[in-house]
Amino acid sequence: MALLQTRNLSVTFSTADGPVHAVNDISFNLCRGEILAIVGESGSGKSQTAFAIMGLLARNAHAAGSVRFGGKEILGLHETSMARIRASDIAMIFQNPMTSLNPYKRISSQMTEVLRLHQGLSRREARFQCIEMLKSVNLADAEIRFEQFPHECSGGMRQRIMIAMSLLCRPRILIADEPTTALDVTIQSQIVELLKTIRQVYGTTILLITHDLGLVAGCSDRVMVMYGGRVMETGPTEEIFAAPVHPYTATLLEAVPRLDREVSELPSIPGNPPNMLGPIPEGCPFSPRCQVGDQTCFTRIPEVSRSGQRSWACLKRDKGTGHETVAGN
């Protein structure tokens, strides 16, 4: 059974201009020990999906559907029960390490606080475990850094500290929301390597949220592509990169610069990302920009088609429409 099951999850924000449907009816499984990457452009609903799982949505947001962790429903759980799950079962790290640590408190005080709260450790024991964890995320001079304030560390160090802090209680799931976006390229690859090591050493299941396809290719086992608050396509990373089924995935991959292919101009997807304000569109959210679709795409939400480990939601890519990797399954 999957460690985390999400069924028909929707997130709606009530705003002064009307409801914003950030996430519409998405379902996916997170399996024990895997790294699942959710990719999508800004506003595709990937971060809100993570916040909904953590119960950290903004006050004006409402989540519907089901999120089960280890078979237990956790969506809509009371704040105090949810607080017990956070960090000890499901932990989360964020996009900007420069702002996600409290600048007014020493790293030592922020880290030990978590351990003392969830595991009731003594100050001394907590301190010992924190330093051990800082060492295991390869933070140089862990003992010195431990006593410093966040502003005395670089961005990469702070993201390591965030990761160490999130792992203190050995959570089964780590949700990493764009963990490398705010870092420079060399540090990015170090953090990706660190995430892979963590999975190996602690067996942590990782939900990686990113818009960086290179990052996805480098470390995830499976990919879930989101657009306009819906899941477009899900499948093993290698297969999706080799042969995308959904037209959105295909155009998205074409827009990525590659070293092994020479193009004079990098293609972009025509049109604009969808406006999430107002009623939920009746058709596929990608239909206004899709090169493959026709009128029917505007009026019908595509069913999810499955083949092996892959699934996709597109009217024009039904099962057995002749796509190489899908055919014959």
Partner 1 sequence: MASYIIRRILIGIPTILALVVFSYLLIVVAPGSPFAGERPLPPDVLANIEARYGLDRPLAEQIASYVWRIVMDFDFGPSFAYQDRTVTDIVLQGFPVTLTYGFLAFLVSVLVGVTLGIVAAIRKNTWLDYLAVGISIGAQALPNFVMAPILVLVFTLWLGVLPGGGWQGGQLPYLVMPVIALSTSFMASIARITRSSMLEVLNADFILTARAMGLGFGRIIFSHALKPAMLPVVSYLGPTFVGMITGSVVIDMYFSTGGIGQFFVNAAINRDYPLIMGITILTGCLTVTFNLVVDVLYAWIDPRIRY
Total residues in contact with partner 1, by rule CB under 8 A:
31
Which span (1-9, 111-119, 139-147, 308-316) binds partner 1, by CB under 8 A? 111-119
246: tokens are 């959904």
The Cα–Cα gap between 39 and 267 comes to 19
Structure tokens at 91: 């932990």
DSSP tag of 43: T
Binding mask of the shown chain, residues 161 to 180, with x at each position contacting partner 1 by CB under 8 A: -x--xx--------------
Nearer to partner 1, 118 or 306 (CB): 118
Interface with partner 1 by CB under 8 A: which range of 160-168, 189-197, 240-248, 288-296? 160-168
Residue 105 within binding range of partner 1, rule CB under 8 A: yes
Tokens of 101: 């640590």
Q: Pick the closer one to partner 1 by CB: 129 or 189.
A: 129
Least distance from partner 1 to the Cβ atom of residue 312, Å: 32
Determine, following the binding rule CB under 8 A, whether residue 22 of this chain makes contact with partner 1: no
Instruction: Name, in order, each residue with C-beta under 8 angstroms of 185's C-beta and a sequence gap of 6 or more.
Output: none
Q: Which is nearer to partner 1, 86 or 246 (CB)?
A: 86
Binder of partner 1 out of 92, 198, 207, 245 (CB under 8 A): 92
242 to 281, contacts with partner 1 by CB under 8 A?
A: none
**Is 81 among the residues that bind partner 1 (CB under 8 A)?**
no
Q: Is 145 in the site for partner 1 (CB under 8 A)?
A: no
**Residue number, 51 or 286, with CB nearest to partner 1:** 51
Candidates 129, 127, 82; CA nearest to 109 is 127
Q: Which residues contact 295 (CB under 8 A, 6 or more apart)?
A: none
Give the residue, chosen from 27, 29, 66, 88, that forms a contact with partner 1 under the rule CB under 8 A.
Answer: 88
> Closest approach of Cβ 329 to partner 1, in Å?
40
Contact call for residue 94 and partner 1 (CB under 8 A): yes
Restricting to residues 48-67, which ones interact with partner 1 according to CB under 8 A? 54, 56
Interaction between residue 99 and partner 1 (CB under 8 A) = yes
Residue type at 295?
A: Q
In the chain, helix, strand, coil percent, each to 5? 35, 25, 40
Q: How far is 104 from 313, CA to CA, in rounded Å? A: 47
Structure tokens that stand for 311 in this block: 């699934």
Contacts of 113 by beta carbon, 8 Å cutoff, 6+ apart: none
- For residue 56, count CB atoms less than 10 angstroms from its CB and return exposed for 0-12, middle for 13-18, buried for 19 or more: middle
**Is the separation of the CB atoms in 249 and 225 below 8 Å?**
yes
Residue with tokens 């009746």, as numbered in its chain: 282
Among candidates 24, 26, 1, which has minimal Cα distance to 234?
26
By CB under 8 A, residue 151 contacts partner 1: yes
Among 53, 63, 114, 215, binds partner 1 (CB under 8 A): 114
Of 93 and 133, the one with the shorter C-beta distance to partner 1 is: 93
Residues that bind partner 1 (CB under 8 A): 54, 56, 79-80, 83-88, 91-94, 96, 99-105, 113-114, 117-118, 149, 151, 162, 165-166
